[in-house]
Amino acid sequence: MIVYFIGTGGSEGIPAHLCTCETCNEARKLGFARRKPSTLAIITKNSKAVLFDVGTDVRDHLHIPLEAIFLTHWHHDHIYGLYKLRWIAQRTKLYAPKGNADDLMVHDPKNIEVNFIEAGDRLKVDSLKITALKLNHQIETLGYLIEEDDKAVALLYDSKGLPEETFEFLKKKHLRLAIMDGTYAPNIDDPYHSNIDESAEIGIKFADRVVLSHISHKNLPFLQLAEYVRKNYNGKVLVAYDGMLFYV
Ligand SMILES: [Zn+2]
Ligand SMILES: [Zn+2]
Ligand SMILES: [Zn+2]
């Protein structure tokens, strides 16, 4: 499978509009430091696409049929792009937790078929086996274990750390990649999101590589952040950027 990071930012994206912080100013100078809100695609071995969150308009990035769309949760930074995508010309299934479901998408979803799922549910989509996992966030939020043949990756944002049951479940798997909540800089303690050290320390216990995503402008500027994880985690932890690809 190919893991395609379309959007790797938090709610505000980077640069945040009119913000003059160091992280936003850097992103105005360096194109690779700009971030759209969370949007991830998996391209299967059969060249089919499955989307995980739609934080931005995906039509310029993925103009092919979607086997399915999964939402981690209904916070707006994970669904902004759905309002446009619902006019898609082919009927498309969407799977999401029930908590805080968006009124417009529930009552007027156009060509999107909304299905509610919960932690523990397993679905087969093309060559992928997808398991919904419980996360620790402000509203009901699902992570996903995504398996194809003997390869596995996990998508684990938005979350403050991980619930014990999710951690124990993932420890039994051999993950190539854990895509984790990198909202905040080291030492920032937030009840609903992780800082990069919290996520890195958990993720390296069950994955070959940790990729930090969902990165806010309150985090370090890109170059400092990349240097920080390189020094502290020996290449096992990487900072995602919009357009990043992994062949798993
Ligand atoms: Zn978010
Ligand atoms: Zn800023
Ligand atoms: Zn959220």
* Confidence label for 186 from pLDDT (cuts 50, 70 and 90): very high
- For 128-185, write each residue's pLDDT tens digit: 999 999 999 999 999 999 999 999 999 999 999 999 999 999 999 999 999 999 999 9
- Cα(76) to centroid of ligand 1, in Å? 8
What is the average pLDDT across 9-20? Answer: 97
Task: Over range 61-84, report the average pLDDT.
Answer: 96
pLDDT of residue 15: 98
CB 200 within 8 A of CB 227: no
What spacing in Å lies between the alpha carbon of 111 and ligand 2's midpoint?
36
| Confidence grade of residue 126 (pLDDT, cut at 50, 70, 90) | very high
Q: What pLDDT sits at residue 146?
A: 98
- As a whole number of angstroms, the distance between CA 94 and CA 111 comes to 10
Nearest alpha carbon to residue 112 among 84, 153, 134: 84
Q: For residues 198 and 162, give the distance between their C-alpha atoms in angstroms, rounded to a whole number.
A: 10
**Chain segment 28-46, per-residue pLDDT in tens:** 999 999 999 999 999 999 9
Q: Tell me which CATH homologous superfamily contains domain 2-247.
A: Ribonuclease Z/Hydroxyacylglutathione hydrolase-like (3.60.15.10)
CA atoms within 13 A on the CB side of 9: 25
Residue 234 falls in which region: left (phi positive, over 0), alpha (psi -120 to 50) or beta:
left
pTM: 0.98
Q: What integer pLDDT is reported at residue 137 of this predicted model?
A: 98
Mean pLDDT across the chain: 97
What pLDDT, on the 0 to 100 scale, is given for residue 61? 95
- The pLDDT value recorded for residue 160 is 98
How far apart CA 181 and CA 212 sit, in angstroms, is 6
Q: Ligand 1 centroid to 229 CA: how many Å?
A: 22
Distance 27 CA to ligand 2 centre (A): 9
